[in-house]
Amino acid sequence: MHFLFILLVLGGVLASLDDQTVSRVDTNKYSIAVEKKFLLYDVNFGEGFNLRRDVYMRVANTVRLLRESGENWILVLPPWGRLHHWMRMEVALSWRLFFDVESLNRFIPVIEFEDFLDETENHPIDQVIYLQHYEEGWGTEYVRKFEERKCLAPADSHYKKVDGEKWRGWFYSYEDVRASNFKCVSIQGDSATLRDLLKHSNYSSMTSIMIDRAETILHEHFGDADYWKARRSMRYSKQLVEAADAFRDKYLDSDDENDKTELVSDWRKERARRSALGGPYLGIHWRRRDFLYARQEQLPSIKGTALILEKLCEQLKLNRIYLATDAPEEEVEELKSYLKEGLKVYRFTDTQKFNDGQIAIIDQYLCAHARHFIGSHESTFTFRIQEDREILGFPVSSTFNRLCPDKNPDCEPPSKWKIAYFRSFELVIFIFVYKGVLKMTCVRKLVNLNIYDGPNIYNFGSVLG
């Protein structure tokens, strides 16, 4: 009883902290400058849709840090397009086609690129900062640092000075966009390092800065509460959710109420849980095509994949499989030919109504709502599904699974990056009852919050999921 009482008290205190974001600034806590500053960014052409989603979280947390320091930064969302794995080379696609922009704004202020152009009347961007690694490498240790340096290839081919003064670049395919200044900066660091760069005196007076090659920076604290706040804010667009839910209902006998996968409308009100059941089907992400060249030894054959699916369906008593894959149609048909009679494979393939990126999200959404999921080793597509399932509150055992190669059927499972809801504290005060006496103690630099009840120790992080 004592433990339950303490859990409720601390849980209530910590839950209130989770609601704090800088999308709308508490003026009692922060002194925000009136002047708006816009941060734009882009990513190397070769990076795919799901890695770019990860880069968004890194840059979003840079904006969070800037706003917490009292500066009124707004993140400009880079239009989607010309992505390596998309079959249709569309350009200038807005974020609202894929994500709920209102939900993104609950973490930090964001606007679409078109809205940025309207607000600034298409004035040149003040500064482009092209991030690059240090030419000499890391050296003997990894140190967070940055400095302006000469441009390394291919930076000098991506931006050219025109008309003697303005800089022309790709700028998401918008041919009339220009920049007033261009610099190359060698950098080693993370979201906080980028914050320090933007607060440097060279750039502090500028109101619009574009960071190119933003994938160069890392997460400040991968997998911490702020990482997950950014990730939880990335709700999918209403149109895509409705399409996926209609498919679940029609083909997979699945809905949120029966599957215990309902989410509150505002992600800031989410609380930790492990109660999701999922629809009565198996979800699989089966990565093929170019992935085979780099990781063929880590993936099963087509027949080996079928054997894995049959075994899982038998264990879980399921007869439906939702397949998310980039495999050619002939490989999909071969996979289906190896499956036992009675196992049905479903795919979402409405390419007339939805573009490649939208179908990818619908695939991920449907895999995320499955009773059990199995993915492809080291695939960012699989990573995003695992994150979605963590947010939905599935048991860890039903999420972090991989397709093992034929020669190693008991291969090492994937890393389990479990969701975090609360920031760690420099100083935590515990009040507990020991042998009938009320006691208080302090713990510094706590990573996993523990509850103490007499001689017993309870891991609060584990209780919360």
Contact in structure between 420 and 224 (CB atoms under 8 Å): yes
Which tens digits make up the pLDDT trace of 228-239?
999 999 999 999
User: What pLDDT score does 22 carry?
Assistant: 66
The two tokens of residue 45 are 């052409």
The more confidently predicted of residues 157 and 67 is: 67
Mean pLDDT within 320-337? 98
DSSP 8-class letter at 351: T
* Alpha-carbon separation of residue 86 from 229, 265, 346, 357, 395 (angstroms): 28, 31, 21, 7, 32
Say whether pLDDT at 113 is over 60. Answer: yes
Q: Where are the beta strands (DSSP E) in 4-163?
A: 37-41, 73-77, 110-112, 127-132, 145-148, 160-162
Long-range (24+ apart) CB contacts under 8 A made by 410-418 are: 411/298, 411/377, 414/375, 414/377, 414/382, 414/386, 417/222, 417/223, 417/386, 417/387, 417/390, 418/223, 418/390, 418/465
* Residue corresponding to tokens 């840079």: 62
Which residues are within 8 A (CB) of 337 and not within 5 positions of it... i.e. 6 or more apart? none
Phi, psi of 144 (to 5 degrees): -75, 120
The more confidently predicted of residues 87 and 305 is: 305
Distance CA 116, CA 110 (A): 10
Distance CA 61, CA 227 (A): 8
The two tokens of residue 345 are 């494979």
DSSP 8-class letter at 219: -
Distance CA 151, CA 135 (A): 10
Label residue 325 by pLDDT band (50, 70, 90): very high
Domains and CATH numbers, the chain: 1-31+424-465 (no CATH), 32-230 (3.40.50.11340), 236-398 (3.40.50.11350)
Which tens digits make up the pLDDT trace of 233-282?
999 999 999 999 999 999 999 999 999 999 999 999 999 999 999 999 99
What's the pTM value of the predicted model, to 2 decimals? 0.86
Q: Residues 377, 379, 382, 388: is their CA dihedral positive or negative?
A: positive
Distance CA 83, CA 62 (A): 24
Lowest model confidence (mean pLDDT) among 106-115, 136-145, 273-282, 403-412: 136-145
As annotated, the active-site residues are 47
The two tokens of residue 304 are 């080996």
Which tens digits make up the pLDDT trace of 416-464?
999 999 875 433 444 444 455 544 444 443 333 333 232 333 333 333 3
User: What pLDDT score does 223 carry?
Assistant: 95
| Alpha-carbon 139 to chain mean position | 30
Mean pLDDT within 3-22? 48
Q: Which residues of 38-66 are buried (b: 16+ CB within 10 A; e: fewer)?
A: bbbbbbeeebbbbbbbbbbbbbbbbbbbb
Which tens digits make up the pLDDT trace of 13-65?
444 455 566 666 555 554 555 689 999 999 999 899 999 999 999 999 999 99
Among 280, 269, 251, 260, smallest CA distance to 347 is for 251
DSSP 8-class letter at 49: H
**Terminal Cα-to-Cα distance of the chain (whole angstroms):** 21
Distance CA 60, CA 45 (A): 20
Q: Amino acid identity of 426?
A: E
Mean pLDDT within 163-180? 94
Label residue 167 by pLDDT band (50, 70, 90): very high
In what helix (H) or strand (E) does residue 199 lie, and over which residues does it extend?
none
Mean pLDDT within 218-229? 96
Distance CA 86, CA 360 (A): 10
User: What pLDDT score does 365 carry?
Assistant: 99
Contact in structure between 335 and 359 (CB atoms under 8 Å): no
The two tokens of residue 385 are 């599904």
Contact in structure between 10 and 429 (CB atoms under 8 Å): no
Distance CA 236, CA 357 (A): 12
